Amino acid sequence: MHPRLPLPEAGGGEDLETFFVWLREAIPQVAHYGIQQPAWDDSVLSWRVALADNLNDKGTGFGGALAGETTLLGWCWTTLWLRAQGRAQDVVIAEGQQRFLAPVTTDYHMQCFPLEADGIARLDTALSEKGRGRIKLVQRVYCGDTLCMEAQGSYAVLK
């Protein structure tokens, strides 16, 4: 098990660059995805990805890499949200699905946010009452303005 990254200071917010340096060490596959410019805005986590790092034999985005990246994006969303709450708990994906809508032909950007408007509040309540909970998240992959892939995942926060 990789050592946990210390929680950010209360009210100080997460340093995304520090988090991603740690993440690349904790999950070696992350270094191969070509993730750039992570950003956390309100309840949306986003980042840009270099297509060159994720090509298939047809010169488009490799579906397996895209599936892995969307899963990782949801895991990061949940982990960063927990850290902002001062909680150091493990997160796992419980279930997920993907829909490939158009080929990924250029560098792309991804975003992740809760599926349900009350998802964050429900997770917060479950954590307060049971010490564990789940949240459903949506991940979207865009080439420019074109939606190329949409994924959904249910992420479990363990005790």
The answer to the question of residue 8 being in a domain is no
CB 4 within 8 A of CB 24: no
The answer to the question of residue 117 being in a domain is yes
For residue 57, what are the domain limits? 16-157
Rounded to an integer, what distance in angstroms lies between the CA atom of residue 87 and that of residue 95?
Answer: 23
The answer to the question of residue 1 being in a domain is no
The tokens for 69 are 């990246």
CATH of the domain at 59: 3.10.129.10
The answer to the question of residue 42 being in a domain is yes
Per-residue confidence of the chain (159 residues) as pLDDT tens digits?
Answer: 667 777 666 556 678 888 888 898 889 999 999 999 999 988 999 999 999 999 999 999 999 999 999 999 999 999 999 998 989 899 999 999 999 999 999 999 999 999 999 999 999 999 999 999 999 999 999 999 999 999 999 999 999
The tokens for 120 are 């964050």
How do the residues of the chain divide into helix, strand and coil, expressed in percent and rounded to 5? 35, 35, 30
pTM of the predicted structure, to 2 decimals: 0.93
- The domain total for the chain is 1
The answer to the question of residue 140 being in a domain is yes
The answer to the question of residue 10 being in a domain is no
Instruction: Read off φ and ψ for residue 96, nearest 5 degrees.
Output: -155, 160
